[in-house]
Amino acid sequence: MVVRWLAGAFMPLTVVMAASGSFAAESYQSRSGTISVVTVTDGLEEPWGLAFLPDGRMLVTEKEGRLRIVAPDGRLSEPLGGVPEVYDGGQGGLLDVALDPDFASNRLVYLSYSEPGDGGAGTAVARGKLAEDRLDGLEVIWRQQPKLGTGQHFGSRLVFLPDGTMIVTLGDRNTRSYIPDMKAQIGKLVRINRDGSIPQDNPFVGDGAYSPDIYSLGHRNVQGATLHPETGQLWTVEHGARGGDEINIPEPGKNYGWPVISYGREYTGGKIGEGTSKPGLEQPVYYWDPSIAPSGMTFYTGDKFPAWKGDLFVGALKFHLLARLEVDGNRIVREERLLEDMGDRIRDVRQGPDGYLYLLTDEDDGRILRLEPAS
């Protein structure tokens, strides 16, 4: 079942200010009560990805190519050494960060980024061992091919599946000519082992017409991905064109339609592809029209907001909001738009080990925000 968000079907939220430590806590109304938004730290330059260390500190990427550690009290480290060179242009740069499932014993950290090289740039994944002030032994474990001269649609979320393999989300690099090329990792999701090798149960292993790392097809630009807390299924959110942002539950070997089908339109207003459906191509479980420019996403499983348990949260860049989506099985049955008056582009959404929701704002003076129930 596909559900569409209709523009204009919500009421604006109110904002009041209250003192909280060295920052002002912003308060917003939701269907479940008042939310306090606390600034943990500011002064970040276009932050993109966030990961929590076991001791409660946070790793955060800045698009220009810096990786920093943020203490629970908001203290910001100097940039860490050992980070790969990035192509910082357009939507490219240092993007997502993820901890190895065995981080407590191996200290491995994974980074996705736009890697410069012959032909332009492409999404790449590198890993290194976290030391006090650097990543040691950095190695590139996967590279998107081919590298292209466009600066858009790098995708770049990293998600570990329950079996320990990694999904790397990608985009079409704002060019459609390579999408039918099954040797090119353009407009696909890929699945790799933690060392970059290919899982032998990938859907196209042994088929010489396909790159063996491909997991699913027909994606425009997937910038949000998470696992369902009960089923372990992969859920993703991707940018449409002029409308047509999609939430999908990608399955191995399936094609999700771009650019043959879409609920959006060309930026010039024209029709995209062959319409909104076609046999053999998968439908989204939810889409937005107009586009909200979706970013990070997570399911909420904590106890700080009991009414939100099991809900899916998606950040938005275009309308500067946080979407709360009520989920029933594989269906999204209701949407609430939060924080619209805040005025910040929300780039990433994570649940902290303390049970609160944390947001990254994609600004020149970017912040890490923590959502708390108002006292």
Which of the residues are catalytic? 153
Name residue 4's beta-bridge partners.
287
If residue 314 lies in a helix (H) or strand (E), which one and from where to where? strand 312-316
Q: Residue 366 corresponds to which tokens in the numbers above?
A: 């970017």
Closest CA to 127 of 77, 78, 67, 40: 67
- 192 in helix, strand or coil? strand
DSSP letter (8 states) at residue 217: B
Name residue 373's beta-bridge partners.
35
Q: Is the peptide bond before 12 cis (omega within 30 degrees of 0)?
A: no
Radius of gyration of the chain (CA): 20
Backbone torsions φ then ψ of 9, nearest 5 degrees: -95, 30
Q: Is the peptide bond before 146 cis (omega within 30 degrees of 0)?
A: yes
Nearest-angstrom CA–CA distance, 224 and 259: 19
Chain centre distance of CA 146: 22
Contacts of residue 59, defined as CB under 8 A and 6 or more positions apart, other chains included, come to: 50, 51, 52, 53, 67, 68, 69, 70, 97, 99, 109, 130
Pairing of strands 286-289, 3-6: parallel
Q: Are 137 and 76 in contact (CB under 8 A)?
A: no
Q: Are 308 and 300 in contact (CB under 8 A)?
A: yes
Q: How far apart are the first and last CA of the chain?
A: 39
Nearest-angstrom CA–CA distance, 13 and 356: 21
